[in-house]
Each structure stands twice: as C-alpha cells, then as structure tokens.
Amino acid sequence: MKITSDQINDLNNKHASRLNEEYDQLANRLVSRNIDLNDLDDKLSTFQIAIPSWALGTGGTRFGRFSGGGEPGSLEEKINDIGLLHKLNNSSGFISLHIPWDIPENYDHINQLAADLHLKFDSVNSNTFQDQPDSIHSYKFGSLDHHDNDTRQLAVDHNKEVIDHGERLGAKSLTVWLADGASFPGQKNFRKAFQNLSLSLQEIYNHLPEDWKLLIEYKPYEPNFYSMTIPDWGTSHLLAQQLGKKAYSLVDLGHHLPNTNIEQIVAILMHQNKLGGFHFNDSKYGDDDLTVGSLKPYQLFLIFNELVEGITNTDNITPAWMIDASHNLKDPLEDLIQSVEAILIAYCRALIIDQNALAYAQQNNDVAGCQEILQDAFMTDVRPLIAKNRLNNHASVNPLEAYRNLNVRETLIKERGSKQISSGL
Amino acid sequence: MKITSDQINDLNNKHASRLNEEYDQLANRLVSRNIDLNDLDDKLSTFQIAIPSWALGTGGTRFGRFSGGGEPGSLEEKINDIGLLHKLNNSSGFISLHIPWDIPENYDHINQLAADLHLKFDSVNSNTFQDQPDSIHSYKFGSLDHHDNDTRQLAVDHNKEVIDHGERLGAKSLTVWLADGASFPGQKNFRKAFQNLSLSLQEIYNHLPEDWKLLIEYKPYEPNFYSMTIPDWGTSHLLAQQLGKKAYSLVDLGHHLPNTNIEQIVAILMHQNKLGGFHFNDSKYGDDDLTVGSLKPYQLFLIFNELVEGITNTDNITPAWMIDASHNLKDPLEDLIQSVEAILIAYCRALIIDQNALAYAQQNNDVAGCQEILQDAFMTDVRPLIAKNRLNNHASVNPLEAYRNLNVRETLIKERGSKQISSGL
Amino acid sequence: MKITSDQINDLNNKHASRLNEEYDQLANRLVSRNIDLNDLDDKLSTFQIAIPSWALGTGGTRFGRFSGGGEPGSLEEKINDIGLLHKLNNSSGFISLHIPWDIPENYDHINQLAADLHLKFDSVNSNTFQDQPDSIHSYKFGSLDHHDNDTRQLAVDHNKEVIDHGERLGAKSLTVWLADGASFPGQKNFRKAFQNLSLSLQEIYNHLPEDWKLLIEYKPYEPNFYSMTIPDWGTSHLLAQQLGKKAYSLVDLGHHLPNTNIEQIVAILMHQNKLGGFHFNDSKYGDDDLTVGSLKPYQLFLIFNELVEGITNTDNITPAWMIDASHNLKDPLEDLIQSVEAILIAYCRALIIDQNALAYAQQNNDVAGCQEILQDAFMTDVRPLIAKNRLNNHASVNPLEAYRNLNVRETLIKERGSKQISSGL
Amino acid sequence: MKITSDQINDLNNKHASRLNEEYDQLANRLVSRNIDLNDLDDKLSTFQIAIPSWALGTGGTRFGRFSGGGEPGSLEEKINDIGLLHKLNNSSGFISLHIPWDIPENYDHINQLAADLHLKFDSVNSNTFQDQPDSIHSYKFGSLDHHDNDTRQLAVDHNKEVIDHGERLGAKSLTVWLADGASFPGQKNFRKAFQNLSLSLQEIYNHLPEDWKLLIEYKPYEPNFYSMTIPDWGTSHLLAQQLGKKAYSLVDLGHHLPNTNIEQIVAILMHQNKLGGFHFNDSKYGDDDLTVGSLKPYQLFLIFNELVEGITNTDNITPAWMIDASHNLKDPLEDLIQSVEAILIAYCRALIIDQNALAYAQQNNDVAGCQEILQDAFMTDVRPLIAKNRLNNHASVNPLEAYRNLNVRETLIKERGSKQISSGL
C-alpha cells in the first residue's frame, strides 16, 4: 500500500482554514514573547525519530498475545509500514533494525526501497537475549557477561556481524541491550560478570568502524529479576568511559526504578558528552512499553527540556532517538502515530521555554517563578505549530485521522491477511 | 493587610483586552465542540477549596526548616492570609482548622472575621500525633489504636472536643488523620490495633452531630515506618462501612505507595458513595507535600476526570476539598496561589472532556481514540477560561502577578516582622 | 518414574545419626523454652501445600523462554511429577489444576492416579486471560468486566465449567485471577468495569456448590499496565463482602505495589474472616515469580506469624495454600523443592515464637523486646526439626540432595525427551 | 556512669556453661565444613563500627519527636555513652563527630577521654543542610552546589574547618553528605549545580591532608523532593573519579530508590577500588533510619557477602563503617546494641559462606545450588560464635540483657535528668 501526496492534500484541505487561523493566533502570542518561529519551524522539520522494525507487529506479555491483522511479515513490509508512517507525519525517517530478525537478503534492494520512501537506517540492534534455533551455546545464563568463553565469544561475534550488516545499510551505530544478569542471589559473581562484560564490549568496540558509535543501554530488571549486569546509568557510563570516545550511554525511558529522576540523568550524561541514544515509551509500573506521552507527558517535557538544553549548551552529539514500545492493545501504526506526535509536542514545548527568564529566576532563587516559566510552556497548546509544519511539508495535518480515513489497516489486512505474525517479540 | 477591589481592577485592566481576545478564540472553539460555557462558568465560580490554617507558615523537613518572613502568628492572622488569597482568586473560600493549634479564644469574633472575608469553616482536624505539653499520657506508641485504655480515651476525648469547637464555627465534618502504627515488626498486634481503633472511632462517631460527617484519612507510612494502622483505602473504607452512613474515606494524594492508581480509588469510593474528602498536593517520592500540579499534572487531570464523573453519575456527596502541602522553599501564599490555579486548570480540563465521544470509544474498544479524547482536553490551554471567570467575579486575572505587584509579602513582613513562626508543623 | 521408600530410606540412613544429634540439641533448647514439640511435629506433618499443574514446566518472560528437558506433556505426567515431589517431602499433597490446560479426559482414571500418589485436588483455576483457539469472542479488552455482554457471558460460562470439572475431582474452591484492566487512561470506565465484574462474579457465585468457596485474587498491574479491575485487597474484599459467605480474598505474595506491608493485609483479612487463599513466591521488583524465600525470607516469616496468629485466634478458615512461581532458570522440580522447604522453615519458625512474651512486650511498649522475640525465633536454625519430621514420615531428610542423587531429571528426560513443552504459560 | 568488667563478668557467668555447650556444638559443625574458627574469631574481635555522636539522642520525624530521658547533653556525655556501648559489646570502638554539633572545647581532654574508653575518632561529618544562627548566607537553596559564590564559599570553608577539627582528633576522613538539590522542576539547572558542586569539592579535596580520604555520600531524595545534586552512586562515583585517589563513594543503606540492588553497587564500587564508607540502618519505605537488620536481614547478609568478597579479592580499602539510624521509638542505646549485633551476625554469616562451593556452582550454572550455599550460611545460627567471642574479650555475652540488668538508662536519667535533649536532628 502507498499513500499519495494527493490523498494527504485532500484531507489537509478540510483543515487548512481553521488550522491557519489557530496557527496565526498562536504565532502572534509566541512572537510577542520573542520566540523565533522560523528557527522553531526548522527544528520541527528536521526532527526525525527512528522506528524499530519490530514495532510494526502486535506485542504481548508473558500472559499471552492478542494479535491484530495485517502485520508485516518481511523486512520489505516493515520498511513499507514505516514509509506509510513517514509519509503521514514527516518525522519518522529512520529505521532501526534488529538482527537476526531483519537480516536483508539483498542489501541493494533494501537500500533502494528505503531511499524510495525517504528513509535512512539508524542504529542497528543485536539480540543475545534469545537462543537462535541451531545455536550450540545458550544465552540462558548470560551472553556478553558469561563465564563460559565460548558462549561469550558467540555473543561477541554476533555483535560484530550486526555491525557488518549495519555498515552495508549506512547505519552509524550499534545499540547493545543486554538481558544478562541473575534472578537469584549468589547466581553470579557481580565483579566477574562485570569484568567479562567489559572484555566482551572491548572486543566489539575494536570492531567498530571509525565513524561509528557504540550505544550501551541499561535496565534495572527484567528479564532477570535479581540483578542485571548493566542495571543503571552509572554502570553504563563506567563502561563507556573505559571503552573510549566512540562509546556512549543510551537511556530508555522505561528502564528505571520507581521515581527515578530521568531528566537529571539526561542532563549529567550530556554534561559528560556521553549521551548517545534515547528510547521513548511510557510507563506507570515498570518497562510497560506504552505509547509515548500516554501516562507522564510532563516528565516527557522535562526530559526534552534537558535534551534541548544539552544540545544547545554542551558538546554532546545529538542522541539517536528511537521509539521503543510494545503495542499490545492498539494498532501498532496508530500507536506509533500517537507516540511521534507526543514527542513532537514535548519537543516543541521545550523549544518555547523562555530560557533567559528561567536562568534569571534560578539565579534569584525564585522557585515559584521557575515553575511558572516551565508550566507556561507546557500549558501552551502547540498543536497548531506542529500541524502547520506538516502542512508546509506536505504531510498530514492530523496523521491519526488520515490513517483512519485512508483505511490503512483495512488495506494492509486485505494485502497481507489477518493471521500473519511479525517477527520479533 | 487588605487588598481592595480597586487594586485588583487596576491590575486586571492591563490584561483585559488581550484576555478577552484569547477567551473569545478559545470560546469559539469550545462552543463548536458543544461545550456549554455557561455551565462551565458556573462550576468554576462556585468551586471553592479549603486552605488549612497551618499552611500559611513555612514548612520543614526533619533536617531543618528555613523560615521565611511575615508568617501569621495568631488564628486571626491566619484567617486574614486566607482572606487575601480568596480576594485574589475567588476560589479559596474555606478554612480548615487544626486543633489544638487553632482554638479560637472568641468564637463570635472569629466567625465575624471569617464572614467579613467571605470565608467559611470547612472540616476540622484533630491532632493525636504530638503530645501536648502537660499531657499525662503520651501518643508515642499510638493514640486511637492504643492498647492502653486511658491513652485511647484521651485521644477519643480530644476528637470529641474538636467536634465541639467545629460546631461553634459552623463546620460540618471532622477529619481524622492518624499517625498510629509501628516502626518495627512485632511492635503491635495488627488485629488488636485495628480493633482498638475501631472502638475509638465508634465513640467519636457517636458524638457526631446529625448533619456531620466523619472523614477517615489513610497513609501507608510516615511517621511510622513499618506499618500504619490505617495504611490504605481498603482499611479506611472498611472502617467507614462499619461505622455507618456518616463515615467516609478521605483521599490525600500523597498518601500512597509508589505507582498507585489513585484515580481508580477515587472512582471506586465514589461508586460506593463513600468518598468524603480529598487533600491535594503533589509528590515524586512519598508524602512530599509539594505544590499541587508541580510534578504530575496529568495524574491530577485524570483524578478530576473521575471526580467529575462521580459527582455527575453517583449519589456520592461532593467531597471536602483541601490543599494539604508543606511550603518549605516557596512563599506559602505563592505556593497556595499556584496550587489553587493547578486545581482549577485540572478541573476545567476535566469539564471539557467529550464524555459522549469517550463512552462511544470505550464501547468500541477504540483505545487510541479514548486517549485522543482525554488528551485533547488536557492539551487545551484553558487558562483564559479561568482568568475570564475571575475577571467577571472581580478577582485577579493573574493572582500570582497581582500578589507580587501588590507587595503582599513585603507588607506582611513589615506588619508582623520576619521572625514570627506560625504554629503547626 | 517412581521413587521408592527404600531409595529414600537408603539416602536417609546416611544422615540419620548426625540429624538425630542436631535434632536432640535443638529439641533440648526448645523444650527449655516451653515449646510443645509434639504439637509442632503434628503441625508440620499435616501441613500440605498445593502445586499448580503448570508449575512443572519451564517458565518464561516476554523476552523468551529457555526450556529445560523432561517436562510433563500430559495431565498424567504432571500429576506424576507432583507425586515425586510429595514422595520426597511429604508436604506437597495437593494439586491445583488450570482449566482449560488440564481438562481430564477420564475423571476416574485421574482421581485414581492422584489417590495412588496420596494427592488431592485443591482449588481449580479458570483462565480468561488468553483466547482459546476457536473462540468467537476475545478477552483482549476484558473478560468478566467486559462491556460486551456476550464476551462477559463466555467468561462466566467458562468459570462455571471450571467449577463442574472441579467437582468431579473433589476440589472445593474456585480461584479467579483476572487480567482484566486497561493499559491506557480513559480506556475503561472504572465504575462500569467494576459493576460488570460484580455482576459476573455474582453469577459464578450462584453456581458454586454449597460447600465450595470462591477465592478472588487481586493484582495491581500486568498484563494491563494502567489499571487492573481488581488491583488490591480492598477491591477484592469489597467484592467478597458483596457476594456473601462463600466468597473470600486470595493473597498472592507477588501482587503488590513496592513496599506494601503484606503481613498486615493478611492480619486484617483474617480479622474479617475473609482470607481464603494464599499464593507463595518471592520477588524483588514486581510479580517476579521467583522461588519462595529466595529474596525476602524475613518477610515470609512475618507473614507466617500472622497466618499462625490468625488461624489460632480468629474464625478464619485455613487458607488454601499454593506455590505460584515461574521457573525460568532452575529445574522446576528443584525450584518447587526449595519453595516448599522455605515455606516449612518460615512456618516452623513462626510456630516457635514466644507469643506470651511477645504480647507482654507489646503491652509494655517494649519495642526492642518485641524485635528480640521475633528475631530469636527467626534466627533459630529449625532445619533439624523439619528434617526429623520427614525422617519420621518416611520422606527424604534432604529432598534436593535426594532428587539429585536419584537422577530424577535425567530419568524424566530419558522417559519424555528433552523437547516436550508443558502446557501453560 | 561506668560499667565495670566485674559487673560484666558476673552477668556472663550465668550464661557461660550453656554458651560453651552451644558454641562447641556449632564449632564442631563448622570445623567439619573446613571453617577456620581462629581466623573467624580474629575477624570478629577486630571488627569495629563507628557510632555517630548524634545517635545517642532520641530522633524524630517532621511530625514531632517523643523524647526519652537521660540523653547526653555534651560531647563528653556522648563519648561516655559510646564508651558504655563499647564496654558491653567490644565492637563500637569508633566515634564519628558532626560539626558544628560536636566541636570540642578542649582537644586534649576529649582525646584523653576517648582513649580511656578505648575509643578512636572515625570520619568527621560536615553539616551544610542547616543554617547556623548568625550565618549571613543561607543554605536554603543549596550549599556546595549553590550558584551564589559567597554561599558556596561559606560551605567550602566549613568543610575545611571540619577537616581541621578532625585532624586534631586523629580522624582520617571527611564524610560529605549534601542536602543540595531542588524540590521543583526548573528550580535548578542540573548541569550548573553539578559543576558548582564539582568546583567546591575540588577545593575541599585540596585541603585534605595526605593520608586522609574524602567520602562522598549520595541520596535520591529528602530533604529535597524533586532532585538531589548527588542522587545516586553513579554521580558520587563520577565526582570521586574526577577528584582523584583520595576521593571515594560512601553508601548509606537507606539512600536508594525502591528495590535497588545495593549489594551490586557495593560490588562494583569495590571492583573500582572506590568504596570508601558504609552507613548502616534499615528501612522499608525510604530513608526510614530504623535499627539495622530489623526489616531486611537477608539483604544485609548479601551486602556483607559482597563486602567480604571485595575486601578479600580487590585492592579496595576497608570502608569506614558507621551506624546511621534515627532512634524515634527505642532507647537509643538499646537500638545501637541491636544494630551492632545485627551487623556482627550478618558479617559472621558472610564469613562462613563456602566460597569455593559457591564459585563451583556459579561455574556450572547451578542456580539452585548457589542459593543453597548462601542460605545455608544465612540459616546457621551464629549467635554462639559472637557471644563466645565477646566472652573471650571480656565483653558482655548478651549486651542488651546486660544493659537492662545494669539499669543503664535509669542511671543516666538520674545523672542527667529526663528533659535534657541531645544536640543534633
């Protein structure tokens, strides 16, 4: 299935006049507060977030999975789905592949397909948390941190291969998320596991092309329930420091203990020029992997405040952004549309914070004033800015509405059937 | 100090034209979505939230207290402060007294003072979590749940007296918050403590005037750190059921374990017609007692959604609303201004939820649609509605700005000095 | 595979002399503290815990599953595994079946098999958290709480059938665990969901035989990640109250928010004579389903203190005990052996608490003393009491050692192969 | 008050025969498992834990304080109390002073007093979380992280003075715990606060004598409730790395988010040779500051397992141990007696873990076996080992019983009165 610009234009036309009115009203207010709307517009236009290939299928929990229909069964179909998304919102221009789920059979073909849809390949992801069918070693008790050298080497070699696949697709970073850890006290020696992991990462790091980055993800629990070998940003950062300049930490919103101040972690990592990636989702209890912004939109805004602050005021690279959610109940494409929208709204609100006033209030210990400044930006209804930006870029003013009006899911079900199950979790 | 209507009008006049413009733009949009603006306006005008007498002074933690200046030293001064607040925002028309901190010396005088400031007395609060100077029994190991009958009776009698004080001020409910519990396993027999508490509450309940309510607060921990005798809504509800029709549960936002779904508790208690009171504050870690809406504005909105839903669709009484925060860093009056504002915003947003569309989406398992409907209301910048409502009611369009422009704190410091410390925590 | 008494005796004989010595030393000490060893011994001998049929296979997480070998493929094989366990430890004399995973083809045959192994059927469990292959309605958006009457009826009828199956096996209770809830704000109307659930339970309750119990489990999150329709003991208790005398709450150790005081919930439910069942496991983060006692043995002891206290001093029935864990890394039978052992140790320690001294210390606010009394019991190494009890009952002194020495797993793999996967999660 | 060796001997004599019997029985078992009892005994004899000077008075919460009697009012009385404790248990040979609460008037006198009681001065603690009476700058909005240079300098200078005081008492390390942080989003710029803090610490570090250590404590929340400037071990470690060889992290058991795996933090910090100090207490909800071992004795054991492992296998210095609890309900000296006892028990149990067997089981992925090995040590009732060690060292076999029999508290109340309140929190 393809969505044409004409289809989008037709749908947009119905909204244009009201949108223009709302945009003008908002623009007037923002201009009077010295917001540079052109700069804002440029930033919105160039903001692109990666979609992981496995997020196009229905997710599940350990208690089962309720599949939807029309799921993509091949890498080509996954890329096509992201193309549909990007056509609608102009902000999903990156694909993040998971190996071995997404090994291309023909690189040229895949590269061409992506290019046709204006998509690029973002960070590639390795998988050492599941055994592959014919593997002679098992990751049941660890992979990169394993005490058994052969198992460890298998995991190291897999990561090297992922880099090689990525190179042929133009990717520039490898994301390592590890399930390694222990579910019971005593099961592992923490220090030995850390040391083994450190050695493994060094070997992978040495295989990185000069212009690549290694992104080290952390997570406090699940699937191991007593300890994870990279449980927190402190451990991730320690490893990244030891490895060298090309190694960075990656923050996943859902990978924190209850009540963690994630925005502070973002700020400190950027202060150290060591924030390499960011995975978006939302959660109430754990790694719930819900739609971005569906539970804690203010936290998301505070995080974007730090991201914007860090990008502006530090030498930190712009992190690799990715949505990392599990779509158990919603249509995966609808979920992704809502997630991208929530990210854009948080980003846009962060961009209109009056940073000078904030710095002044901070300097004067005007705590109530600081709150007013942040919340003024947060309460501003920036949706017209984003919609107008999309209108200008020939994307859909209201992507979710367009998705439904264009019967995308129904068409995909017709094309692919209702039983096909996407590879992945 | 008094604030005059003229002073407020002068300040409002500067905002009027821009406010009217913004209001009209928003009103147009809401009317096109079938929102009844008159009804909304009525609801905003009549919404009143209680201010506890002790919230006018600087709060502290166990690590110390950094006092501000101009704190009220007498009940009269406390009432006066709430009068200032109410004059500015027209939404703080209730006072909630804490006995023995606020025992009036002259009831007629106090009643007249309150009436002059358009204030009424809301729920009265007992205090059995501190020993009074000459007490012969101590609450160190419990009060209403104590195994010692004399100590228990002291606490019961105190609560009866609080009712008597409240009656003379026109209050209609008693709020019981207990620190009772244990800090170590084995310290108390859970069942006996529950039974003693149950007997004590029965005696207090029997003393209640016919038209009064007993509001039973719960809290999982602090100041006891192993167990609290009323730790959760289930226990509070159980006690309220046993006592009878006049007994209700009271929900304090900060009194929950990490990640609790508080809005669901609100819904179920209202479904049982047993939600009697609500204490507002905000928190990230525990009973942090921060400014309402400063950390989790979306949660606050979801709670108001349930409150509105319950008030509309159940026989539950309208709960007694109160702000229950501790102002450690901000000027207490500024903190209260921000808190009331956050509550009004959440309430107003909840009122513009398209309930019909939501019910329809729920009926169709349109999960993404449900989210869109809630978030559309949440993202709407309703501040012009609230400001316009205040303009119409001769209160301040922007209370915090007015508070600062009128040099309220500076004047209070001049009047009262910078060292006076308000009674309370 | 069968384990003979001779095999066990041979293994026990090696331990007998040292065990007798250790037992005598301990017995002397306990007798000097007025512990009634005969009574203790009787209680240990009669204590039986149910094993759920699905716990015999390797568990998994949503990130995958690493199967072991020799898993039982049929109900007969599952019963046989529990028989092996019971033969070893004499404390696993109950089976808890899950329908539809364990529908017997021939009841007489199954009843006879169980009787031969000295096993009885405990509570039967329904499953409405997964769709059955040919179902025309889906539980994706709810089951007993569903707004759609047909889906709700399907779930109700399923529960009735489970009761019918249970009756033919001599079971006396139905356990209802619901996945019903919502993963996003607004997805469900809390009050309507509660009301629908209430109606469904009433219908199931009405189908209960006179001497049956309905056990209502609660859980705060997972698989739904915003709200669960029965999130906490308060909701479960409310439903049980409304249904009537045969309805009870069931507490699962892993189904609580962080830091919940579970022993207090146990105490209060027993005080209300409403604790009907208890599911054992252990966890650090959420519903981790780890081996009982592997993470928080002191909490387990404190819970048993309340269970013993409640059984002794209230009219509460003895709850239906069950192990409810997921064996992701350990051999399931080894995990169960360790779990039963941990439960017996906690139970035995609770039985030797000096309750008179504790009551006296409580009465005197001797907080340090209360702690000493509890911890004295907890620190006592009661393993010789339990081992000796098993020796007397012709079970294994050291079940885990025996399991390994008798090569149980190796034999099962030989019999069943290494690829067979047990039904269930 | 003084306790004489004769008094202790008299009390010990009543226990000696039973203790010797129990010791012999246990010793036999341990020797048969190749435990080196002489080595164990040496380790127990030399283990000394610091008592903070402020822990001798009754603690409180923000909801009030229920004082006991006989509290020490001067530094001399505090030292005397620790002397009593050390006389009883032979394991409390260190004092940790808090400046400015404990500034000696006469160093020689204080040094002599401590020496007479066989006490040494451990780490000294600064206090920048409260304003001193005549201070011209306030720590209300920060101290070492303050944006105001003068306030920052005040805090820096205070820390330098604390070092100077410590030097004159023979202390060898400075512990810095900071309340610095923010209670509201936006209140502080995270990166600037970190940078200011970093500069301040550098200046303090430069003032350290050659043989001193700087111990950097972390805490996620309280008294600030949105962010703390050193919230976690990662930040503490980052700062310690930047400062240099003499800077270390300090772990306080209560300063972690819910469910944190603290033992893993200990292991990794020791692996980096950067664990400088450890503060003991226990908690269920937050920084509850309860008696060590009263809530989570197994966690304490697991932490000691890592401490022992790290001391044995890394170059990490032996951390400065201190009890850091608040005695709200118990007699402070009884609370400390119980805390020291719990620490010794955890330490002793950790020392009898069969490390060879554990390493072997880990190597073989024998997860159930690893658990058995740890729990076998944990379940062993090691109290006779500790009591016997004390008997040999002329300390009390049962310190709590001796404390009560010798009427220590009653005597102190007679000497000091019941109203004196110890300085500190």
B279 contacts B292 by C-beta, under 8 angstroms: no
- The pLDDT of residue D276 is 98
User: Across residues A130-159, what is the average pLDDT?
Assistant: 96
Q: Which residue has the tokens 């407020």?
A: B8
Of A183, A191, A264, the CB nearest to D190: A264
Q: DSSP states of C142-179 as a string?
A: -STT-SSHHHHHHHHHHHHHHHHHHHHHT--EEEE---
Distance from CA of B258 to the nearest CA of A (A): 7
One digit per residue, pLDDT tens: chain D, 425 residues? 999 999 999 999 999 999 999 999 999 999 999 999 999 999 999 999 999 999 999 999 999 889 889 999 999 999 999 999 999 999 999 999 999 999 999 999 999 999 999 999 999 999 999 999 889 999 999 999 999 999 999 999 999 999 999 999 999 999 999 999 999 999 999 999 999 999 999 999 999 999 999 999 999 999 999 999 999 999 999 999 999 999 999 999 999 999 999 999 999 999 999 999 999 999 999 999 999 999 999 999 999 999 999 999 999 999 999 999 999 999 999 999 999 999 999 999 999 999 999 999 999 999 999 999 999 999 999 999 999 999 999 999 999 999 999 999 999 999 998 877 776 65
Q: Which residues of D touch C297 (CB under 8 A)?
A: 298, 375, 378
Query: Beta partners for C124?
Result: C174
**Per residue in B246-273, pLDDT tens?**
999 999 999 999 999 999 999 999 999 9
Q: Which residues of A touch B381 (CB under 8 A)?
A: 379-381
- The pLDDT of residue B424 is 60
Per-residue CA distances from D259 to A127, C289, C328 (Å): 27, 15, 21
Interface test with C, best of D379, D382, D398, D404 (most C CBs within 10 A): D379
Q: How confident is the model at residue C134 (pLDDT cuts 50, 70, 90)?
A: confident
Instruction: Write out the two tokens for D270.
Output: 């020791």
What percent of chain B has pLDDT above 70?
99
Burial of residue B211 (CB within 10 Å: 0-12, 13-18, 19+) is: exposed
Q: In whole angstroms, what separates CA D227 from the centre of its chain? A: 24
pLDDT beyond 70 at A240: yes
Instruction: Write out the two tokens for D250.
Output: 């300090």
pLDDT beyond 70 at C423: no
Q: Which residues of C touch D258 (CB under 8 A)?
A: 258-259
Q: Which residues of D touch B131 (CB under 8 A)?
A: 64, 66
Give the amino acid at B165: H
Q: Give the Cα separation of B114 and B106 in Å (integer).
A: 12
Residue A390: strand, helix, or coil: helix
State whether B330 and A378 contact (CB < 8 Å): no
Of B66, B220, B284, the CB nearest to D138: B66
Q: Which residues of B touch C147 (CB under 8 A)?
A: 362-363
The domain ranges of chain C are 49-350
Q: Which residues of D touch C22 (CB under 8 A)?
A: 29
Residue B294 sits at the chain A interface (C-beta within 8 Å):
yes
User: Across residues C243-263, what is the average pLDDT?
Assistant: 98
Sign of torsion over alpha carbons C388, C392, C398, C400? negative
C118 contacts C86 by C-beta, under 8 angstroms: yes
**Per residue in A369-401, pLDDT tens?**
999 999 999 999 999 999 999 999 999 999 999
A145 contacts A179 by C-beta, under 8 angstroms: no
- The pLDDT of residue C238 is 98
Q: Which residues of C touch B191 (CB under 8 A)?
A: 267-268, 270-271, 309-310, 313-314
- The pLDDT of residue D423 is 61
- Burial letters D308-345, b for 16+ CB under 10 A, else e: bbbeeebebbebbbbbbbbbbbbbbbbbbbbbbbbbbb
State whether D225 and B288 contact (CB < 8 Å): yes
State whether A186 and D271 contact (CB < 8 Å): no
Q: Are strands D213-217 and D247-252 parallel, antiparallel or unpaired?
A: parallel
Q: Give the Cα separation of D104 and D74 in Å (integer).
A: 10
User: Across residues A257-284, what is the average pLDDT?
Assistant: 98
Of A258, A261, A400, the CB nearest to B258: A258
Give the amino acid at A285: Y
Q: Give the Cα separation of D339 and D400 in Å (integer).
A: 11
State whether C371 and B302 contact (CB < 8 Å): no
Query: Beta partners for D51?
Result: D95
- The pLDDT of residue C425 is 56
- Please choose, from the candidates A231, A240, A165, the residue with its C-alpha nearest in 3D space to the C-alpha of residue A201: A240
Of D258, D271, D365, the CB nearest to A258: D258
Stated as kind and residue range, the H or E segment containing A173 is: strand A173-176
C338 contacts D371 by C-beta, under 8 angstroms: yes
Give the amino acid at A59: G
Instruction: Write out the two tokens for A296.
Output: 């804690």
Chain B residue with CA closest to D259: the answer is B258
Q: How confident is the model at residue B134 (pLDDT cuts 50, 70, 90)?
A: confident
Chain B residue with CA closest to C259: the answer is B257
Q: Determine the longest span between alpha carbons in chain C, in angstroms.
A: 67
pLDDT beyond 70 at A414: yes
Of D138, D295, D425, the CB nearest to B63: D425
Q: Where are the beta strands (DSSP E) in D106-167?
A: 120-121, 124-125
State whether B365 and C233 contact (CB < 8 Å): no
Interface test with B, best of C194, C225, C264 (most B CBs within 10 A): C264
What percent of chain C has pLDDT above 70?
99
Give the amino acid at D47: F
- The pLDDT of residue D366 is 98
Of B141, B188, B373, the CB nearest to C186: B373
pLDDT beyond 90 at A134: no
Query: Beta partners for B61?
Result: B64
Q: What are phi and psi of C203, to 5 degrees?
A: -65, -40
State whether B368 and A261 contact (CB < 8 Å): no
Q: What are phi and psi of A359, to 5 degrees?
A: -60, -40
- The pLDDT of residue A64 is 86
Which residues lie closer than 8 Å to A73 by C-beta, 6 or more apart? Answer: A416, A420, A421, A422, A423
Query: Beta partners for D321?
Result: D278
- The pLDDT of residue B423 is 61
Q: Give the Cα separation of C95 and D382 in Å (integer).
A: 38
Whether the bond into D185 is cis, omega within 30 of 0? no
D385 contacts C379 by C-beta, under 8 angstroms: no
Q: Give the Cα separation of B402 and B3 in Å (integer).
A: 10
Chain A residue with CA closest to D367: the answer is A187
Residue B383 sits at the chain A interface (C-beta within 8 Å):
yes
Which residues lie closer than 8 Å to B380 by C-beta, 6 or more apart? Answer: A381, B26, B30, B349, B352
Q: Give the Cα-Cα-Cα angle B25, B29, B33 (nearest 5 degrees).
A: 160
Residue C328 sits at the chain D interface (C-beta within 8 Å):
no
Of B268, B305, B361, the CB nearest to C194: B268
Instruction: Write out the two tokens for C34.
Output: 């007025």
Residue A310 sits at the chain D interface (C-beta within 8 Å):
yes
**Per residue in D99-158, pLDDT tens?**
999 999 999 999 999 999 999 999 999 999 999 988 999 999 999 999 999 999 999 999
Residue A138 sits at the chain C interface (C-beta within 8 Å):
yes
Output the average pLDDT for chain C.
96
Distance from CA of C286 to the nearest CA of D (A): 9
State whether D64 and B225 contact (CB < 8 Å): no
Q: Give the Cα separation of A66 and C263 in Å (integer).
A: 36
Q: Give the Cα separation of A78 and A101 in Å (integer).
A: 11
Superfamily of domain C49-350: Divalent-metal-dependent TIM barrel enzymes (3.20.20.150)
State whether A61 and C222 contact (CB < 8 Å): yes
Q: Give the Cα separation of B137 and B154 in Å (integer).
A: 8
Residue A198 sits at the chain C interface (C-beta within 8 Å):
no
State whether C367 and D330 contact (CB < 8 Å): yes
Stated as kind and residue range, the H or E segment containing B174 is: strand B173-176
> Subunits with at least 3 CB pairs below 8 A relative to chain A?
B, C, D
- The pLDDT of residue C85 is 98
> Subunits with at least 3 CB pairs below 8 A relative to chain C?
A, B, D
C182 contacts C219 by C-beta, under 8 angstroms: no
Give the amino acid at B138: S
Q: Give the Cα separation of B278 and B265 in Å (integer).
A: 12
Residue D231 sits at the chain A interface (C-beta within 8 Å):
yes
D241 contacts C241 by C-beta, under 8 angstroms: no
- The pLDDT of residue A415 is 95
Q: Which residues of D touch A371 (CB under 8 A)?
A: 184-187
Distance from CA of D29 to the nearest CA of B (A): 31
Distance from CA of C54 to the nearest CA of B (A): 30
- Please choose, from the candidates D85, D178, D86, D61, the residue with its C-alpha nearest in 3D space to the C-alpha of residue D125: D178
Q: Give the Cα separation of D374 and D358 in Å (integer).
A: 8
Residue D153 sits at the chain A interface (C-beta within 8 Å):
no
State whether D237 and A235 contact (CB < 8 Å): no
Chain A residue with CA closest to C227: the answer is A284
**Per residue in A39-81, pLDDT tens?**
999 999 999 999 999 999 999 999 988 988 999 999 999 999 9
State whether C338 and D368 contact (CB < 8 Å): yes
A68 contacts A74 by C-beta, under 8 angstroms: no
Q: DSSP states of A277-328 as a string?
A: EEEE-B-SSSS--BPTTSS-HHHHHHHHHHHHHHHHHS-PPPPEEEE----S
Q: How confident is the model at residue B418 (pLDDT cuts 50, 70, 90)?
A: confident
Q: In whole angstroms, what separates CA B227 from the centre of its chain? A: 24
Per-residue CA distances from B26 to A27, B19, B408 (Å): 15, 10, 32
pLDDT beyond 90 at B67: no
Q: Give the Cα-Cα-Cα angle A96, A38, A10 (nearest 5 degrees).
A: 65
Residue C358 sits at the chain B interface (C-beta within 8 Å):
yes
Mutual angle of helices C332-351 and C383-392, in 10-degree steps: 110
**Per residue in C198-222, pLDDT tens?**
999 999 999 999 999 999 999 999 9
State whether A284 and C226 contact (CB < 8 Å): yes
Per-residue CA distances from C249 to B240, C252, C278, D73, D169 (Å): 20, 10, 9, 53, 61
Instruction: Out of A130-134, B418-422, D137-141, D302-306, pick the least confident.
Output: B418-422
Burial of residue B313 (CB within 10 Å: 0-12, 13-18, 19+) is: middle
Q: What are phi and psi of C216, to 5 degrees?
A: -105, 110
pLDDT beyond 80 at B420: no
User: Across residues B299-304, what is the average pLDDT?
Assistant: 98
Mutual angle of helices A332-351 and A37-46, in 10-degree steps: 150
C75 contacts C54 by C-beta, under 8 angstroms: no
Per-residue CA distances from C336 to B297, C70, D379 (Å): 46, 15, 19
pLDDT beyond 80 at B422: no
Chain A residue with CA closest to B383: the answer is A379
Per-residue CA distances from C266 to B190, C152, C231, C303 (Å): 10, 31, 16, 7
